[in-house]
C-alpha cells in the first residue's frame, strides 16, 4: 500500500509521463518554442507564475472515495477497541489536463499530444513509477516522494478519460476564477493509502476441534418477580434487590445456562431452570433503574474448558427500584413563619453509583380534613460526586422551604422510585418522617 505521499506521487508520475513523451515527440520543434509541463492550479498559470506561455498543465481538482475498495479491511478494531487492521484509504484521483498557448493552435497541438500519451499509457507500470520517483529524478523539494511506496501497492494505477459535459467544465473554470482554456478530464484509480500504525496480532490456532451443538433458540416472553420463597409470583409488582426474578418463555434450559443482566453474566444453577422458567435472586451489585435481561446458551470449549456464548434470547427489560431505609432528620431550622430547612440522610439499596440522578420526594400526611397536602422534591447535586467516586449507600439531602408536619419519604434513582408501605385498608403509611 502507499503512504500519504501517494496523491502527490501519482501526480508526479503523470507529469513525468507527459514531459518525457513531449520530449520524445520533439514537440518544441513542432511548435517552434519551449514547452513546459506543470501541475499547478490554472489560476496561477494565468497570473504569470509559469516559466513559459506555452504549457501543458495537469491539475488534481478532486479526490473521491473508491466504492470498490471502500469496505476492505473492516472491522479494524476488536471488541476491546484495539487496532487489529489498518484499512486502506481507497481514492480515485480526478485530473484536468489543460493546454496553454498564446500562438494560434499551439494549445490544440499540446492537448492532442497530451491525450495521446495518456491514451497509450492506460496503466502506470511499476518500473515507470520507480523511475519517476527515484531520488535522482526528483527535484530537491520533492525528495520525500521517493518513500511513497506507490510502486509496491497491490493495485496498479489505471488512467482513463472521464466524461465531463459543458456545464460541468464551465462550473470548474468558474471556480478557478480564470479564463477558459482547452481542457479534458482524466481519472486515476485506485490509490490505496495505508497507515503504518502497529496492530494487534492474535496467536495462531494450535488445533481445530469440532463441537456439535444442537441449535435451540431461547425466547423470553415475561419478566415476573417473587418477594421471597412462598410468596406469589406477580408480573406488575415493584422489584427490589434480593427479590427473585422469574423469567418465563420457552426453550430456556441449557447446561451451562447464563443470564445476562445489564451486561453482567450470571451462572444459573440447574435446579432453578426449566425449559419454560428461569429464576435468579437479584444481587446488590446492580444499579437502580432500567435493567436489560437475556438468557444465554453456552458450550464449554477449549483446554481448559471455558463457557462460550452460542445463542442468546431476545432482550426484555424491567425496572429495579431502590429500597429506602433509616431516614434521619437533623439540623432542623425554622427559617421563616412555618417554613423549615433540614438535613435528611437515607440508606439506599442498591447503592447509588456516581452521577446517577437521585431525587428525594416528600408528601405531607396526617392533615386536618379539607387541607391540601404539600409535596416537595430535592435533587442530589452532581457536585456530591466530585468527592465520591464509588457507589454510596447513604445519601445526604438538604431540604429548604418545607412546611412543618409529617411526610411520606421516597427516593427516585434514574427514574425508579422506592416503594411505600400501606396499612390494612390500603392507605400509604410509611416510611415517614417529621419536620418540626
Give tens-digit pLDDT for 173-189: 899 888 889 999 999 99
Candidates 326, 242, 247; CA nearest to 286 is 242
pTM of the full predicted structure?
0.58
Q: Which helix (H) or strand (E) holds 265?
A: strand 264-267
* The pLDDT of residue 47: 46
Give tens-digit pLDDT for 342-372: 999 999 999 999 999 999 999 999 999 888 9
Candidates 11, 20, 182, 21; CA nearest to 117 is 21
Mean per-residue pLDDT for 29-49? 80
**E strands of 282-356, at which residues?**
289-301, 306-312, 316-320, 323-336, 339-352
Candidates 191, 173, 197; CA nearest to 183 is 173
* The pLDDT of residue 304: 82
Give tens-digit pLDDT for 405-415: 999 999 999 99
Domains along the chain? Answer: 6-193 (no CATH), 219-320 (2.60.40), 323-435 (2.60.40)
Give tens-digit pLDDT for 287-319: 999 999 999 988 888 778 887 888 999 999 999
Amino acid at each position: 500500500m502507499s503512504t500519504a505521499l501517494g496523491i502527490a506521487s501519482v501526480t508526479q508520475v503523470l507529469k513525468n509521463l507527459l514531459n518525457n513523451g513531449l520530449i520524445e515527440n520533439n514537440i518544441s520543434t513542432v511548435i517552434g518554442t519551449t514547452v513546459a509541463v506543470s501541475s499547478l492550479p490554472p489560476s496561477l498559470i494565468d497570473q504569470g507564475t509559469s516559466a513559459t506561455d506555452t504549457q501543458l498543465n495537469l491539475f488534481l481538482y478532486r479526490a473521491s472515495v473508491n466504492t470498490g475498495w471502500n469496505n476492505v479491511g473492516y472491522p479494524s478494531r476488536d471488541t476491546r477497541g484495539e487496532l487489529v487492521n489498518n484499512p486502506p484509504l481507497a481514492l480515485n484521483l480526478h485530473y484536468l489536463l489543460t493546454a496553454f498557448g498564446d500562438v494560434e493552435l499551439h494549445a490544440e497541438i499540446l492537448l492532442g499530444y497530451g491525450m495521446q500519451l495518456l491514451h497509450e499509457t492506460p496503466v502506470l507500470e511499476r518500473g515507470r513509477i520507480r523511475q519517476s520517483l527515484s531520488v535522482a529524478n526528483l527535484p530537491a523539494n520533492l525528495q520525500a516522494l521517493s518513500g511513497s511506496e506507490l510502486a509496491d501497492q497491490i493495485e496498479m494505477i489505471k488512467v482513463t478519460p472521464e466524461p465531463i459535459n459543458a456545464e460541468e467544465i464551465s462550473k470548474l473554470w468558474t471556480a478557478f476564477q480564470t479564463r477558459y482554456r482547452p481542457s479534458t478530464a482524466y481519472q486515476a484509480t485506485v490509490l490505496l493509502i495505508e497507515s503504518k500504525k502497529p496492530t494487534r496480532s492474535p496467536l495462531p490456532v494450535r488445533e481445530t476441534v469440532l463441537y456439535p451443538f444442537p441449535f435451540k433458540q431461547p425466547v423470553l416472553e415475561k419478566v415476573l418477580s417473587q418477594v421471597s420463597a412462598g410468596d406469589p409470583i406477580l408480573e406488575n409488582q415493584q422489584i427490589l434487590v434480593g427479590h427473585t426474578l422469574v423469567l418465563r418463555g420457552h426453550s430456556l434450559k441449557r447446561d451451562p445456562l447464563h443470564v445476562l443482566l445489564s451486561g453482567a453474566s450470571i451462572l444459573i444453577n440447574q435446579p432453578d431452570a426449566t425449559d419454560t422458567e428461569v429464576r435468579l435472586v437479584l444481587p446488590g451489585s446492580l444499579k437502580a433503574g432500567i435493567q436489560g435481561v437475556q438468557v444465554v446458551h453456552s458450550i464449554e470449549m477449549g483446554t481448559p474448558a471455558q463457557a462460550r456464548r452460542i445463542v442468546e434470547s431476545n432482550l426484555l427489560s424491567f425496572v429495579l427500584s431502590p429500597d429506602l431505609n433509616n431516614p434521619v432528620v437533623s439540623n432542623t431550622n425554622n427559617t421563616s413563619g412555618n417554613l423549615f430547612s433540614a438535613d435528611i440522610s437515607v440508606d439506599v439499596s442498591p447503592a447509588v453509583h456516581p452521577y446517577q440522578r437521585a431525587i428525594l420526594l416528600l408528601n405531607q400526611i396526617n392533615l386536618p380534613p379539607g387541607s391540601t397536602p404539600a409535596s416537595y422534591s430535592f435533587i442530589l447535586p452532581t457536585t456530591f460526586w466530585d468527592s465520591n467516586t464509588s457507589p454510596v449507600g447513604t445519601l445526604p439531602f438538604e431540604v429548604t422551604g418545607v412546611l412543618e408536619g409529617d411526610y411520606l419519604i421516597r427516593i427516585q434513582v434514574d427514574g425508579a422510585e422506592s416503594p411505600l408501605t400501606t396499612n390494612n385498608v390500603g392507605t400509604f403509611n410509611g416510611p415517614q418522617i417529621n419536620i418540626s
